[in-house]
Structures are given as structure tokens and as C-alpha cells.
Amino acid sequence: MKLLRTIRLDVSDTFVFEKAAEPGEWAVSGAFVFWDRDPSALEGKARSAFRGGFLGVASLGWSTLVQIVEASEDDRLAVIDTLAKQLVANFGAPTVADARAAAEEEVAFAESLCSQPRDTLVAVHRSFDNGEVRETFRTLRPREGQKPARAFSFLEVEGEDDAPGETVDLVGLAERERK
């Protein structure tokens, strides 16, 4: 089986998000974090997390990219357990059983994103249209015959036609962070 792990190719996540996920954390989509918030009212780093972040399960930090990796059944169960505990402690899940059921759904969804080969990178774009959150996912794979040793060897992009029209000014974010 395959699951998602956060990956940090540069330091930009530490500028873009209020809390960046640690590299190598198990990850889920994380859209549920915004269920009780008005996405159109989000600003700054919260807006960045909504628009393009995967949730690190252990830290509840955000990552722009995740990597598809091999996982064992024990890994899967540990992710579900950790996420269920987070749902009770931080998101008001009414019971452990409810939290576990929700965590299982989140992990199953993360698994469904892992149909590409191992080491494929995945990015998310979320939008709020007609009262619903919409997620689109893009994958970046190494070229045939290349090993994913360096970030810039990832050149094939799937889902580029659905890429958002908005851009993030990382230099501007870094400058505002220093002030």
C-alpha cells in the first residue's frame, strides 16, 4: 500500500504557512480543518493553507507537497490512530469512535491519491465555489529513467490545465515575515 508523506524541497513552507509540517510526516488532505470557517474570509497564511496545503498528521502543520511512499498496514493504523487523537484533542470530535471513523475516511482518501508510482510528488489546489470546497490535485513525476534525486528533475506535470490562476509571491512573504 502507499500513503502520503510531507516533503520540503526548500524553506518556503516556513514562510507560506503559520505552521509548517515537519518533513517526512504522514499527511492527509486536511480540508476538514476549514469545515467551520468561511473560506472566502480567510487571509494570509490561513488562506495559503486552505488553497494549497496538505496537513501533517503529527504536527498539524502544512506542506505544499507530499510524496507517495510505500507504507505497511502498521503505518496505516498508526496514521489513523494519531489523526483520531488529534481530532479529539484539537477539533472537538465528540467521541473516540467518531474520531477514528473520520480518521479512517481521511486516510482512505489519502490512499486514493496514491495511484501514481512511488516517489511521485502531489500538490493540491483548493477553491470555494458555490458553497462547496473543491480540491484538484497535480502530480509531478520524474522523467523516464531518472531517479528523483533532485527537486528540479521533476518535470512531467499532470493536471496543469487545472492549475490556479493565482500565484504566491514567496519573496514578498519572506520580506513581510522579517518586518
Model confidence over 107-121: pLDDT tens digits?
999 999 999 999 999
b/e per residue, 148-172, with b = 16+ CB within 10 A? beeeeebeeeeeeeeeeeeeeeeee
**CA 24, CA 65: separation in Å to the nearest integer?**
11
Does pLDDT of 66 surpass 80?
Answer: yes
Q: Give the pLDDT band (50/70/90) at residue 174.
A: low
Residue entry with cell 526548500: 10
Does pLDDT of 154 surpass 50?
Answer: no
Q: What is the pLDDT of residue 11?
A: 94
**CA 123, CA 139: separation in Å to the nearest integer?**
6
Q: Give the pLDDT band (50/70/90) at residue 36.
A: confident
Which pTM was predicted? 0.80
Q: What is the pLDDT of residue 158?
A: 56
Domain ranges of the chain: 2-178
Q: What is the pLDDT of residue 49?
A: 97
Q: 18-27, 109-118, 154-163, 165-174: which has the minimum mean pLDDT?
A: 154-163
Tell the burial category of 91 from Cβ atoms under 10 Å away from its Cβ (0-12, 13-18, 19+). Answer: middle
Does pLDDT of 155 surpass 60?
Answer: no
Does pLDDT of 19 surpass 90?
Answer: yes
